[in-house]
Amino acid sequence: MKRAIGYRRLACRAGPIQQPRRYPWLLLITAMAVLSIALVACGGDDEEAAPSSAPAGGTTAATQELTQPADESEMMDEMDLSELSGNVEVDGSSTVFPITEGIAEEFGLITDVRVTVGVSGSGGGFKRFCAGETDVSNASRIIKESEIEECAANGIDFIEVPVAFDGLTVVVNPENDWADHLTVAELHHIFRPDDYAETWAAVRAGFPDEEIVIFSPGVDSGTFDYFTETINDESGVQRQDNTTFSEDDNVLVIGVANELGGIGYFGFSYYINNQENLQAVPIDGGAGPVFPTTATVNDGSYAPLSRPLLIYVKASSLDRPEVAAFVDYYLSDGRPIIDSPEVGYIQLPDNFYTAIRQRVANRVTGSVFPGAPEDATLESLYGVQ
């Protein structure tokens, strides 16, 4: 088990990695990859920082430091999981769904707790969460200011919990033999809300005069918000013509697989589990075409479509042992589900989960992102040492 690096080992800590302003998540993910390397290089048994917390519903300081538990399984050991029962209600992102569903199934094998996992999209999940209807909200994007305000108005304090890395994957029909890669500008030409390319020939000289048919996540999807903000420079803005929208990524998979001119996008996991029926497109974010893989997502070279995945936990729900145990299991013994062949996402570094588990135990509420410096790293925002 890796230990968090203490304040006296600053030379071994990953500092800010400068990236273009347009791709903020790449900055955070690349820094986490460098931090992983730094942990291996530094090793040792360093001092731990003292815990701190933020006001309920507020944001946490970028310099916050959290203490590692004396034993990685300390919190889980305090309760007999076999005696647990009750219900945990989860809803939200279809991208995060495979992780939460897989962990819920494993958790159900060692407890009598029933974890119900819905798929209404990140936005739909936050609507239910901020109304107090769910205990946990899956999200493939960070919570919006308007959603923070809605939660606050309803007295819902939440804990923000990053759980994995994802590479949002652009896919085409397996018979498509022309789109060997696409640039960000070409993606914009395909997906922008006006003056868009109606045929592949309009995207690039040499492409065939095949009609473009789009299969897109629905407007309540965090993947939709992330893609449109990154590719079209405005969240929620995308062409409507010749487009099928769905919150169910399986609908998108089937659509692209059955349309020669089809193109769509969704989380890396759905591509990995359907790659016999789809073709992933390498993306050129300015440094040449890069194919989405575990390695390129983890090191940040798959830009600008690498991102963290999160869950949001209602603080008051942690008063119920079944919810507290489920969330802790999610961040500890349940983690192998994340990068299992059946799910196919990418785990965060070990020390990051340690810090987040302590964050949950300390009930540190609010989002770290509003007002965060542009050069902030993911580990600095969450107090990972």
- Structural domains in the chain (count): 2
The answer on 385 and 320 residing in a single domain is: yes
pLDDT of amino acid 80: 78
pLDDT of amino acid 291: 96
Tell me whether residue 39 is in a domain. yes
CA distance linking residue 100 with residue 116, whole number of Å = 10
Q: Tens digits of per-residue pLDDT, 264-300?
A: 999 998 899 899 999 999 999 999 999 999 889 878 8
The answer on 359 and 294 residing in a single domain is: no
pLDDT of amino acid 58: 43
User: Percent of the chain beyond pLDDT 90?
Assistant: 66
Answer whether residue 82 shows pLDDT above 90.
no
Which domain, by its residues, includes 113?
A: 1-165+309-385
Task: Write down which residue in 241, 276, 298 finishes a domain.
Answer: 298
pLDDT of amino acid 294: 87
Tell me whether residue 304 is in a domain. no
The answer on 13 and 140 residing in a single domain is: yes
The answer on 10 and 142 residing in a single domain is: yes
Answer whether residue 333 shows pLDDT above 80.
yes
Band of pLDDT at residue 152, cut at 50, 70 and 90 = very high
pLDDT of amino acid 263: 98
Range name among 8-12, 215-219, 297-301 with the lowest pLDDT average: 8-12
Average pLDDT of the chain to the nearest whole number? 83
The answer on 119 and 180 residing in a single domain is: no
Tell me whether residue 224 is in a domain. yes
Q: In this structure, which amino acid lies at residue 338?
A: I
CA distance linking residue 134 with residue 312, whole number of Å = 10
User: Percent of the chain beyond pLDDT 70?
Assistant: 79
Q: Tens digits of per-residue pLDDT, 87-118?
A: 999 999 988 999 999 999 999 999 999 999 99
Answer whether residue 66 shows pLDDT above 80.
no
The answer on 144 and 82 residing in a single domain is: yes
Structure tokens at 184: 């960000």
Range name among 17-21, 207-211, 213-217, 359-363 with the lowest pLDDT average: 17-21
Please state the separation of Cα 287 from the chain's center in Å: 23
The answer on 80 and 15 residing in a single domain is: yes
The answer on 145 and 1 residing in a single domain is: yes
Mean pLDDT score, 142-152: 96
The answer on 155 and 213 residing in a single domain is: no
The answer on 383 and 355 residing in a single domain is: yes
Range name among 9-13, 129-133, 142-146, 346-350 with the lowest pLDDT average: 9-13
Band of pLDDT at residue 76, cut at 50, 70 and 90 = low
The domain spanning residue 93 has which CATH number? 3.40.190.10
Tell me whether residue 303 is in a domain. no
Answer whether residue 315 shows pLDDT above 90.
yes
Closest by alpha carbon to 244, among 271, 278, 217? 217
Mean pLDDT score, 145-157: 97
pLDDT of amino acid 383: 86
The answer on 72 and 190 residing in a single domain is: no
Return the SS3 of 288. coil
Task: Write down which residue in 274, 298, 322 finishes a domain.
Answer: 298
Say if pTM beats, i.e. exceeds, 0.75.
no
The answer on 153 and 37 residing in a single domain is: yes
pLDDT of amino acid 360: 97
CA distance linking residue 92 with residue 318, whole number of Å = 19
pLDDT of amino acid 78: 54
Helices marked H in the chain — which ranges? Answer: 24-42, 74-77, 97-110, 121-130, 145-153, 184-191, 222-232, 249-257, 268-272, 294-298, 321-330, 350-361, 378-381
